[in-house]
């Protein structure tokens, strides 16, 4: 039941060990959450598994395949999609183009064909519709509100049909109504068989939506389990409150 | 609107084809060749710069290599000129793939510096390798049409460069509508984001870099055959590289016809200054001034400034509350 697994993952910046021999297992088909105090190595860990930076040592495997040190586009092709902490879309492409760019192309003939393939446009509209932003498909992404851009980013990630979706602070800078909307979406998408890893500061959101919580401190996991168990773990309280 | 712009395009094409027959003397045909050559080069530059946003000031390296490659094949190996032109462009493309693999690893200002270093290296190499290239005295290339006088040669090369321009424009258009083009534009917008969505950005950038170099090399080869005399300091100059950049930015690098429009302004203006003021360097000052004005007042280029942006108008103004409601619906 393991989807993504890391073994002894280590990354140092200068003399600082940002991630220190982290061994993590994500549960397949569940909503996994990664929490921890500021500077505990969550973001570095995230960047290591998505290929944005290379680990000094250790391994990352996804569904048994070694993806250690693969470039981000190969990680994406392996079936892992991600969103960014401060929501990144292509500002001067239209909403629809933002979606179509995410479709994987391998053959030269596919690459040189026109962008607006009928079937793909249909699929893009389906996802935009689920996010509630299909009325904006002709707009350039930069004209969308921040909340709409967050939804667009998620929609584009789903367009690439990932089995595992990594969300980096999905609730950051978003109003409560939209947080509820995102939580509902993630639950629905999870029920359809997608695995999630959510890095989040909003404790209510994390505890409310996830099945499996991993707590990071000083570059490695110190506890993992269901939200109710993790919440009362003395090591977690110590890491967060310093008691 | 659609019909009007299509009509304008047809009229422009007809004017371009008829130009040599409409002007009173061969000097103006010569100026026309120069303008079309720059238009073709700027459009080729824009295959990289416009799509990916990578600003290369060193594209004159490919111009010079294309020119010297063609010239050397014709003079040293007696290769027929068409074969020499194509073979040299092909070699430059292979070279550009190798250079591109290294060069597009760096972004922004670093990439600009790398591109300048490339043209400086090529300049030194060609000047230093006297036994092959003739060094700083230059290389004389015999005219491929010895039966024609100078003016008629201008006429022939006007159409050859026009053909190259048409090919470059067609390529830009074809890529612009393709999925490959969308990937390149995504790289311009946010490279890391594109990569994380599964776009193999390195391969895309190298492909655009090499294609752009191919067309510039063809322009260089045609230049060698047309002009008949190659001066390494001129063909490998930052000036030629920056002309391509200036023309593209002036007209609008995001638009198919932007570089062409820029070339139609900058190249004749340069010729005018040369004729009106003689061999001063005032045209360089004017070029610099123009670049500053463009950056200050029309960062998106003339076309974007005056054609307006249709996409912007398609979203009605909404209050913040309405927008959030729309997002949360």
Residue range B187-200, pLDDT digits in tens? 999 999 999 999 99
Judge: B327–A132 Cβ closer than 8 Å, yes or no: yes
Q: Are B273 and B283 in contact (CB under 8 A)?
A: yes
- CATH (domain of A195): 3.40.50.300
Under the banding of pLDDT at 50, 70 and 90, the label for residue B309 is: low
Shortest distance between the Cα of B214 and any Cα of chain A, in A, equals: 18
What CA–CA distance (Å, rounded) separates A22 from A41? 10
Is A175 in the B-facing interface, judged by CB distances under 8 Å?
yes
Full-model pTM: 0.89
Judge: B324–A145 Cβ closer than 8 Å, yes or no: yes
- B37: its two tokens: 């050559």
Please provide the average confidence, as pLDDT, over all residues in chain B. Answer: 87
Question: Which of these ranges, A227-231, B57-61, B200-204, has the smallest mean pLDDT?
Answer: A227-231
Does the residue A154 lie in any domain? no
What CA–CA distance (Å, rounded) separates B190 from A24? 30
Mean pLDDT of B66-86: 94
Q: Which stretches of chain B sit within 8 Å of chain A by CB?
A: 174, 177-183, 185-186, 189-190, 192-202, 311-312, 314-315, 320, 323-324, 326-329
Does the residue A65 lie in any domain? yes
Task: Out of B177, B186, B327, name the one closest to residue A178 (CB).
Answer: B327
Asked if the model's pLDDT at residue B276 lies above 90, the reply is: no
What CA–CA distance (Å, rounded) separates A138 from A117? 15
The pLDDT of residue B288: 81
Judge: A73–B199 Cβ closer than 8 Å, yes or no: yes
Low-confidence spans in chain A with pLDDT less than 70 = 1, 241-243
Co-location of A175 and A214 in the same domain:
yes
What CA–CA distance (Å, rounded) separates B71 from B231? 12
More confident residue, A26 or B276: A26
User: What is the residue range of A102's domain?
Assistant: 90-143
The helix (H) or strand (E) run that includes residue A56 is none
Task: Write down the H helix ranges in chain B.
Answer: 2-22, 26-52, 60-77, 81-103, 108-128, 130-133, 150-176, 179-189, 191-196, 201-227, 232-235, 238-251, 258-277, 282-297, 302-307, 310-313, 320-328
Co-location of A107 and A197 in the same domain:
no
The pLDDT of residue B248: 93
Tokens 């014709």 label which residue? Answer: B74
Is A88 in the B-facing interface, judged by CB distances under 8 Å?
yes
What's the CA angle centered on A35, arms A30 and A39, to 5 degrees? 145
Q: Please give the residue of chain B at the shortest CA–CA distance from A136.
A: B315
Is A130 in the B-facing interface, judged by CB distances under 8 Å?
no
Asked if the model's pLDDT at residue B183 lies above 50, the reply is: yes
Under the banding of pLDDT at 50, 70 and 90, the label for residue B308 is: low
Question: How many separate domains does chain A show?
Answer: 2
Comparing CA positions, the residue from A221, A224, A229, A238 lying closest to residue A32 is A224
| Dihedral pair phi/psi, residue B215, rounded to 5° | -70, -40
Task: Out of A88, A143, A175, name the one closest to residue B193 (CB).
Answer: A88
Question: Could you give the percent of chain B with pLDDT greater than 90?
Answer: 55
What ipTM does the predicted assembly reach?
0.90
Co-location of A185 and A78 in the same domain:
yes
Ramachandran region, residue A35 (left: φ > 0; alpha: ψ -120 to 50; beta: rest) = beta
Task: Compute, in degrees rounded to 10, the torsion defined by CA atoms A39, A43, A48, A54.
Answer: -60
Judge: A84–B193 Cβ closer than 8 Å, yes or no: yes
Does the residue A153 lie in any domain? no
Co-location of A220 and A103 in the same domain:
no
What CA–CA distance (Å, rounded) separates B118 from B99? 9
Under the banding of pLDDT at 50, 70 and 90, the label for residue B238 is: confident
Co-location of A135 and A191 in the same domain:
no
Contacts across the A-B interface (CB distance below 8 Å): 127
Co-location of A120 and A100 in the same domain:
yes
């Amino acid at each position: 039941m393991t989807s993504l697994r890391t073994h002894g993952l280590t990354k140092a910046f200068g003399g600082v060990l940002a991630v220190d021999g982290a061994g993590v297992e994500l549960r397949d088909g569940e909503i996994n959450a990664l929490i921890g105090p500021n500077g505990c190595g969550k973001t570095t860990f995230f960047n290591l598994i998505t290929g944005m930076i290379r680990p000094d040592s250790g391994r990352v495997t996804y569904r048994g395949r070694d993806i250690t040190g693969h470039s981000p586009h190969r990680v994406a092709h392996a079936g892992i999609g991600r969103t960014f902490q401060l929501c990144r879309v292509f500002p001067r492409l239209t909403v629809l183009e933002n979606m179509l760019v995410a479709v994987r192309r391998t053959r030269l003939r596919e690459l040189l064909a026109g962008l607006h393939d009928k079937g793909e446009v249909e699929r893009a509209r389906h996802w935009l519709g689920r996010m509630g932003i299909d009325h904006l498909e002709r707009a350039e992404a930069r004209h969308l509100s921040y909340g709409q851009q967050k939804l667009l980013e998620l929609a584009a990630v789903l367009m690439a049909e990932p089995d595992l979706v990594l969300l980096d602070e999905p609730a950051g800078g978003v109003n409560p109504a939209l947080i509820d909307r995102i939580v509902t979406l993630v639950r629905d998408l999870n029920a359809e068989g997608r695995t999630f890893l959510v890095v989040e500061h909003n404790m209510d959101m994390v505890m409310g939506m996830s099945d499996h919580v991993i707590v990071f401190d000083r570059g490695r996991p110190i506890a993992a389990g269901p939200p109710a168990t993790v919440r009362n773990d003395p090591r977690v309280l110590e890491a967060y409150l310093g008691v | 609107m659609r019909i009007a712009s299509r009509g304008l395009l047809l009229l422009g094409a007809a004017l371009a084809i008829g130009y040599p027959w409409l002007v009173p003397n061969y000097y103006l045909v010569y100026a026309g060749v120069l303008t079309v050559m720059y238009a073709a080069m700027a459009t080729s530059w824009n295959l990289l710069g416009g799509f990916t946003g990578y600003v290369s000031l060193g594209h004159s390296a490919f111009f010079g290599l294309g020119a010297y490659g063609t010239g050397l094949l014709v003079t040293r190996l007696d290769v027929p000129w068409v074969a020499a032109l194509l073979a040299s462009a092909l070699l430059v493309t292979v070279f550009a793939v190798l250079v591109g693999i290294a060069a597009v690893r760096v972004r922004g200002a670093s990439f600009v510096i790398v591109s300048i270093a490339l043209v400086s290296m090529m300049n030194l190499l060609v000047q230093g390798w006297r036994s092959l290239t003739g060094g700083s005295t230059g290389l004389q290339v015999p005219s491929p049409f010895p039966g024609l006088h100078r003016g008629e040669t201008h006429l022939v090369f006007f159409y050859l460069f026009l053909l190259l321009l048409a090919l470059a424009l067609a390529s830009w258009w074809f890529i612009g509508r393709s999925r490959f083009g969308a990937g390149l534009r995504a790289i311009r917008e946010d490279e890391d984001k594109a990569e994380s969505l599964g776009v193999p950005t390195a391969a895309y950038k190298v492909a655009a870099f090499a294609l752009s170099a191919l067309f510039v090399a063809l322009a260089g080869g045609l230049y060698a055959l047309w002009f008949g005399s190659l001066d390494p300091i001129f063909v490998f100059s930052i000036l030629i590289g920056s002309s391509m950049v200036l023309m593209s930015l002036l007209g609008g690098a995001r638009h198919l016809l932007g570089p062409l429009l820029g070339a139609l302004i900058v190249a004749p203006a340069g010729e005018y200054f040369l004729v009106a003021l003689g061999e001063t360097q005032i045209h360089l000052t004017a070029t610099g001034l123009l670049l500053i004005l463009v950056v200050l007042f029309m960062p998106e280029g003339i076309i974007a400034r005056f054609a307006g942006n249709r996409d912007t108008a398609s979203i009605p103004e909404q209050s913040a509350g309405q927008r959030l409601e729309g997002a949360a619906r």
